[in-house]
Amino acid sequence: AQSVDQPDAHVTLYEGASLELRCSYSYSAAPYLFWYVQYPGQSLQFLLKYITGDAVVKGTKGFEAEFRKSNSSFNLKKSPAHWSDSAKYFCALEGGGNMGYKLTFGTGTSLLVDP
Amino acid sequence: DMKVTQMPRYLIKRMGENVLLECGQDMSHETMYWYRQDPGLGLQLIYISYDVDSNSEGDIPKGYRVSRKKREHFSLILDSAKTNQTSVYFCASRLGYEQYFGPGTRLTVL
């Protein structure tokens, strides 16, 4: 079984601050990890992925994430945050091998960046 | 530009009626998905399709069925809709490791 936990339902910070959204996962083998963003009233957009290799991966819109196998985490980071980053962010996991391209999403973190 | 379309965007049905949600993509992607999104929950996978007539259940397939007769189209069918199927439904197609999502269909079952 695979699962994703995003422990913070809501995060609020001021523009210019550094943001870090937490994500932890449970999977018995090597995971493929993703972050997606959903702006208000819109659909989901791909931000970045970790498949293998360097633990820090960079994505679109200035975001990056760090894969930490030691504590099964894949936190999303950006500095500085901008008011336009206000959105809901979803962490997701795909099990490799025979899991058949199935993605498991976390419940999401709603980010509000005050201007 | 990668584009996934969904029709209709909004739909209101009465309990017991049949519902057809349609999804299209013009990129010839093999793998497509149907998800639902409910408040406080993430996206839940209903069905996945690996190509024409090659479909597999996701995590919550009960009450739903799918049809994929052409690579570009993937339909979600609710036979005799229930009020707990009120939700926002997203379709997605996959290229490489990335999924491309449609705009969603907001379904209300009264």
pLDDT in tens, B42-83: 899 999 999 999 999 999 999 999 999 999 999 999 999 999
Q: Please report residues of B whose CB lies closer than 8 A to that of A31.
A: none
Considering only alpha carbons, which residue of chain A is nearest residue B36? A105
Domain span including residue A22: 3-114
**CB–CB of B91/B74 below 8 Å?**
yes
Domain span including residue B25: 4-109
Q: Which has more confidence, B32 or B41?
A: B32
**pLDDT tens for residues B74-96?**
999 999 999 999 999 999 999 99
Mean pLDDT score, A47-67:
94
Mean pLDDT score, A69-94:
96
- Torsion-angle region of A9 (φ positive above 0: left; ψ -120 to 50: alpha; else: beta): alpha
Mean pLDDT score, B99-108:
95
Select the residue of A43, A46, A105 nearest B102 (Cβ to Cβ).
A43
Domain count, chain A: 1
Domain count, chain B: 1
Residue B109 pLDDT > 70, yes or no?
yes
CATH of the domain at A73: 2.60.40.10
Residue-level length of chain B: 110
CATH of the domain at B95: 2.60.40.10
Min Cα–Cα distance to chain A from B83, Å: 22
Distance separating alpha carbons of residues B42 and A108, to the nearest angstrom: 6
CB contact under 8 A, A46 and B100: yes
pLDDT for residue B41? 84
CB contact under 8 A, A45 and B101: yes
CB contact under 8 A, A49 and B97: yes
Alpha helices in B18-73 (DSSP H): none
